[in-house]
Amino acid sequence: MWRKSSHSGGDNTDCVEVAVEGAHILVRDSKRRTGPVLVFRRTAWCGLLAGLEDPAVDGF
């Protein structure tokens, strides 16, 4: 089941959707539902989110 990001643009032009499929996290542009999908391992997804919350996580 795809879920739209709560941080997507209010005018529905900048929308990201995320779905969980087994051990993977899927990410797509909600305007291009049949377009490309990014696939992340759960650990990579969690690392990405941690880096977004605190850029110092990766030493930058």
pLDDT tens digits, 10-30: 665 678 899 999 999 999 988
pTM over 0.85, yes/no: no
Which helix (H) or strand (E) segment is 27 a member of?
Answer: strand 24-29
Comparing 23 with 59, the larger pLDDT belongs to 23
Among 43, 42, 18, 40, which Cα is nearest to 28's? 18
Q: Return mean pLDDT, the chain.
A: 83
Picking from 25, 17, 50, 53, the residue whose alpha carbon sits closest to that of residue 8 is 17
At residue 22, the pLDDT reads 94
More confident residue, 34 or 19: 19
